[in-house]
Amino acid sequence: MVTSSYELQTLDQLREYVTRTLCTHDELEINAFPMTERTLLRGGIPCGMYFCLHGPRSVCYTAIWETDGNSILFYGSTGERFQKTLLVNAPGIACANHVSETAH
């Protein structure tokens, strides 16, 4: 499993990084497939975001941004974790608070 670090300033940069990483790992064309996202809650308080890239043949690739450790965990289509990215700087989860599920 690859571990790296990255700096992201906005939620849009986070989305772009997640999309690019998931697509690159499985050699998919970037922005060719829809992605959904959900804000994760713990005790009613936002604690991260779940991203799901809906690839070809109903295959899903996922990533979870967890704010406690400020990292993104990436998972392939079979559920294996293939990368962990530690965020040096990241947008606040309050920026994503209004997002419950959106397609990109």
Domain that holds residue 70: 2-99
Query: What pLDDT is stored for residue 36 in this prediction?
Result: 97
At residue 19, what is the residue type? T
Does 104 map to a domain? no
Residue predicted with more confidence, 98 or 22: 22
Flag whether 76 is in a domain: yes
Instruction: Give me the residues paired with residue 73 across strands.
Output: 64, 84
- Determine contact, residues 94/46, Cβ cutoff 8 Å: yes
- The span from the CA of 50 to the CA of 23, in Å, is 16
- pLDDT of residue 6 exceeding 90, the answer is no
Beta strand spans in 1-104 (E): 2-7, 35-42, 45-54, 60-66, 71-75, 81-89, 102-103
- Tell me what the mean pLDDT of segment 22-51 comes to: 94
- What pTM value is reported for the model? 0.83
Residue 17's SS3 state is helix
| Number of domains observed in the structure of the chain | 1
7 part of a folded domain = yes
Higher pLDDT, 25 or 102: 25
